[in-house]
Amino acid sequence: MTGPRLPISPVLMTPPLLAILALGLAPLTIVVVWSFWSWDPSTYWIKPDLSLAGYAGILEAGRWTVIVSTLVKAFGTALLCLLIAYPTAYAVHFLAGRRLSIILLALITIPFFTSYLIRSFSWRLVLGRTGVLNTWLQDLGIINAPLDWLLFSNFAVIVGLVASYLPFATFPLLLSMRRVDPTFLAAAQDLGAGFWKSLTSILLPLTMSGIFAGFLFVFVMVVGSSTEVQMLGGAGASIVSVMINDVMRVANYPLAFAISTIVLIVIFGLVLIGNRIFGLGSLFEDQSP
């Protein structure tokens, strides 16, 4: 049973809805429409001449490979973030007291007080040949020479991405855990369920919406990122956002819009699947008594 709800006023709802349409839906619609237009060399712009040249260009010069590689990186980063974020959220909500939980949440968000360029560059100081990690491993006698693959590699990119976007997985999980009725866990313990049984039978199913929300947030952020790849992946590393910038520099706008449309289709497909299977909308439903 839910509590009393405030009446919905069309006058109050109209401005935010118009803002969402103008700032969100309209630009995305333009991107999709323009992806089917053709390039006009006389005006250095596009014209409303129906063409699939932009989508055909995705299959050229290894661009499709970059898209697939980006989606794989986003998927892997999102999974790693969930593996780290779930026990973190559990510790903050169930194990830490009020003061300690505030300290832990502050430690998670403090890196965002600095520039993303500084955050990415700091990993060079950790993973480089003369960085903290290589120096520490050599001092302990674990390795005899610096490990070159720690920096300017997919490993370095994944580390930078996980470090950058871990909070985006942690906070949805924390929100979903706070919506779990504690009497469910107490009842399971009274019936003899141990930690793992309570986790797999009660907590995980009740926090699936938070799990998918965290996955989706990280996935979307990684697909749109570029700094970590450029600073930690080396000169040959690429990702969708970098590829779009390169295409825009040569004024191939239909191709850039076509690449963006493919990415949008993947993301919206994930949202629809997540809402259908995991009940993503339930994360924001009112559960007041």
Q: What is the pLDDT of residue 285?
A: 62
Q: Where are the alpha helices (DSSP H) in the chain?
A: 10-20, 26-34, 53-57, 63-90, 98-109, 116-127, 132-139, 154-178, 182-190, 195-198, 204-206, 208-223, 227-232, 240-249, 253-277
Closest to 71 (Cα-Cα) out of 258, 225, 234, 254 = 225
Closest to 231 (Cα-Cα) out of 118, 146, 147, 149 = 118
Q: What H or E segment, with its residue span, contains residue 46?
A: strand 45-47
203/181 Cα distance (integer angstroms): 10
Amino acid at 168: F
Q: What are phi and psi of 40, to 5 degrees?
A: -110, 105
DSSP conformation letters of 119-141: HHHHHHHHHSTTSHHHHHHHHTT
71/33 Cα distance (integer angstroms): 23
287/3 Cα distance (integer angstroms): 9
3-class secondary structure, 45: strand
Q: How far out from the chain centre does Cα 263 lie? A: 13
Q: Residue 197 is encoded by which pair of tokens? A: 């049984």
Q: How far out from the chain centre does Cα 89 lie? A: 17
Interacting residues of 131 by C-beta distance below 8 A, sequence separation 6+ = 124, 125, 150, 151
Q: Sign (positive/negative) of CA torsion 130, 132, 135, 141?
A: negative
Q: What is the pLDDT of residue 287?
A: 53
Q: pLDDT digit of tens for each residue in the chain (289 aa)?
A: 445 555 666 777 788 888 888 888 888 888 899 899 988 777 778 888 888 888 998 988 788 999 999 999 999 999 999 999 999 999 998 888 888 888 888 888 887 777 878 888 889 999 998 889 999 999 988 988 889 889 888 899 999 999 989 999 999 999 899 888 888 888 888 788 888 888 888 899 989 989 999 999 999 999 988 888 888 987 777 889 889 988 888 788 899 999 999 999 999 998 888 888 877 766 666 554 4
227/111 Cα distance (integer angstroms): 15
For residues 58 and 255, the answer to whether their CB atoms sit within 8 Å is yes
Say if pTM beats, i.e. exceeds, 0.75: yes
178/101 Cα distance (integer angstroms): 13
Q: What is the pLDDT of residue 6?
A: 55
